[in-house]
Chains A and B, each alone.
Chain A
Amino acid sequence: MVLERLRLDGKVAIVTGAGRGLGRQMALALAEAGADVVCAARTASQIDRTTGDIRALGRRAVAQPTDVRDSAQCDALIARAAQEFGRLDIMLSNAGIGDMRGANAELWDVNDDDWHDTLDVNLSSAFYCARAASKQMVAEGHGGTIINLASGTALRAYPMSFGYGAAKAGVIALTKSLSTMLQKHGIRVNCIIPGFVSQAPPRDEQSAIFAQTRGRYLPAQRLGYAWELGPLAIFLASDASSYVTGQGFVIDGGGLAGGLAPMGFAPEVRL
Chain B
Amino acid sequence: MKNEWGDVRLGLDAFDLAGKKALVIGAGNAAGAAIARALGEAGADVIVSATSTDGDEVMRAKKVQQDLAKMGRQSSTVTADITLGTGVQVMVRQAAKDLGRIDIVVNAPDLYLGKPAEATTDIEWNRVMQVNLSGTFHACRAAGKEMLKQGGGRVINVASALGERGMANSAAYCAAQGGILNLTRALAQEWGPHGITVNAIAQGWMEHTPAIGNPDPAANQTVRFVPMKRAGAADELGALAVYLASDACGYITGQVLFVDGGLTTHL
| B38 contacts A by Cβ under 8 Å | yes
B38 touches A2 (CB 8 A): yes
Evaluate whether A254 and B265 lie within 8 angstroms (CB atoms) in the complex, with A2-B238, A243-B236 already known. no
User: Chain B residues near A253 (CB, 8 Å)?
Assistant: 192, 251, 253
Evaluate whether A201 and B228 lie within 8 angstroms (CB atoms) in the complex, with A231-B14, A234-B12, A257-B188 already known. no
Closest B residue by C-beta to A175: B265
Q: Tell me the smallest distance from the CB of B208 to a CB of chain A, in Å.
A: 13
| A224 contacts B by Cβ under 8 Å | yes
| B219 contacts A by Cβ under 8 Å | no
| A85 contacts B by Cβ under 8 Å | no
| A211 contacts B by Cβ under 8 Å | no
Q: For chain A residues 1-34, which have a beta carbon within 8 Å of chain B?
A: 1-3, 5-7, 25, 28-29, 31-34
Interface residues on B, range: 35 or more
User: Chain A residues near B248 (CB, 8 Å)?
Assistant: 228, 230-231
Question: B10, B227, B236, B260 — which one has the most chain A CB atoms within 10 A of its CB?
Answer: B10
B254 touches A183 (CB 8 A): no
- Report B217-252 CB contacts with A as 1/0, cut-off 8 Å: 000000000011100110010111011001011111
A249 touches B257 (CB 8 A): yes
Q: For chain A residues 194-245, which have a beta carbon within 8 Å of chain B?
A: 197, 200-201, 218-221, 224-228, 230-232, 234-235, 238, 240-245
| A246 contacts B by Cβ under 8 Å | yes
User: Chain A residues near B250 (CB, 8 Å)?
Assistant: 220, 228
Closest B residue by C-beta to A31: B11
B10 touches A29 (CB 8 A): yes
B11 touches A234 (CB 8 A): yes
Alpha-carbon distance A10/B74, docked complex (angstroms): 34
Alpha-carbon distance A232/B265, docked complex (angstroms): 20
Closest A residue by C-beta to B241: A2
Query: When the two chains form the complex, which single residue of A183, A228, A256 contacts B227, counting CB atoms closer than 8 Å?
Result: A183
A257 touches B185 (CB 8 A): yes
A interface: dominant SS: mixed
Alpha-carbon distance A246/B243, docked complex (angstroms): 19
| B264 contacts A by Cβ under 8 Å | yes
User: Chain B residues near A235 (CB, 8 Å)?
Assistant: 239-240, 243
User: Chain B residues near A263 (CB, 8 Å)?
Assistant: 193
Closest A residue by C-beta to B4: A201
Alpha-carbon distance A39/B264, docked complex (angstroms): 32
B11 touches A230 (CB 8 A): yes
Q: Tell me the smallest distance from the CB of B261 to a CB of chain A, in Å.
A: 5
B236 touches A231 (CB 8 A): no
A232 touches B3 (CB 8 A): no
B253 touches A3 (CB 8 A): no
| A117 contacts B by Cβ under 8 Å | no
A244 touches B192 (CB 8 A): no
User: Chain B residues near A227 (CB, 8 Å)?
Assistant: 3, 5, 8, 10
| B41 contacts A by Cβ under 8 Å | yes
Q: Tell me the smallest distance from the CB of A197 to a CB of chain B, in Å.
A: 8
Evaluate whether A3 and B265 lie within 8 angstroms (CB atoms) in the complex, with A180-B227, A235-B243, A252-B251 already known. no
- Report A158-189 CB contacts with B as 1/0, cut-off 8 Å: 00000000000000000011011001000000
Query: When the two chains form the complex, which single residue of A1, A234, A242 contacts B41, counting CB atoms closer than 8 Å?
Result: A1
User: Chain A residues near B197 (CB, 8 Å)?
Assistant: 220, 254
User: Chain B residues near A179 (CB, 8 Å)?
Assistant: 227, 262, 265
B227 touches A3 (CB 8 A): no
Q: Tell me the smallest distance from the CB of A39 to a CB of chain B, in Å.
A: 14
Alpha-carbon distance A34/B11, docked complex (angstroms): 9
User: Chain A residues near B1 (CB, 8 Å)?
Assistant: 28, 32, 57
| B259 contacts A by Cβ under 8 Å | yes
User: Chain B residues near A254 (CB, 8 Å)?
Assistant: 188-189, 192, 197, 253-254
A243 touches B260 (CB 8 A): yes
Q: For chain B residues 16-55, which have a beta carbon within 8 Å of chain A?
A: 16, 37-38, 41-42
Query: When the two chains form the complex, which single residue of A1, A7, A246 contacts B12, counting CB atoms closer than 8 Å?
Result: A7
Query: When the two chains form the complex, which single residue of A32, A57, A242, A258 contacts B236, counting CB atoms closer than 8 Å?
Result: A242
B10 touches A180 (CB 8 A): no
| B255 contacts A by Cβ under 8 Å | yes
Show 22 residue pairs from A and B whose CB-CB distance is below 8 angstroms, ordered by the A residue: A2-B41, A3-B15, A28-B1, A29-B11, A32-B1, A177-B265, A180-B266, A219-B188, A219-B191, A219-B192, A219-B253, A227-B5, A238-B239, A240-B239, A240-B243, A243-B233, A244-B257, A245-B265, A246-B262, A256-B254, A257-B184, A263-B193
Residues of B within 8 A of A (CB): 1, 3-6, 8-16, 37-38, 41-42, 184-185, 188-193, 197, 204, 227-229, 232-233, 236, 238-240, 242-243, 246, 248-255, 257-262, 264-266
Residues of A within 8 A of B (CB): 1-3, 5-7, 25, 28-29, 31-34, 53, 57, 176-177, 179-180, 183, 197, 200-201, 218-221, 224-228, 230-232, 234-235, 238, 240-247, 249-254, 256-258, 263, 266
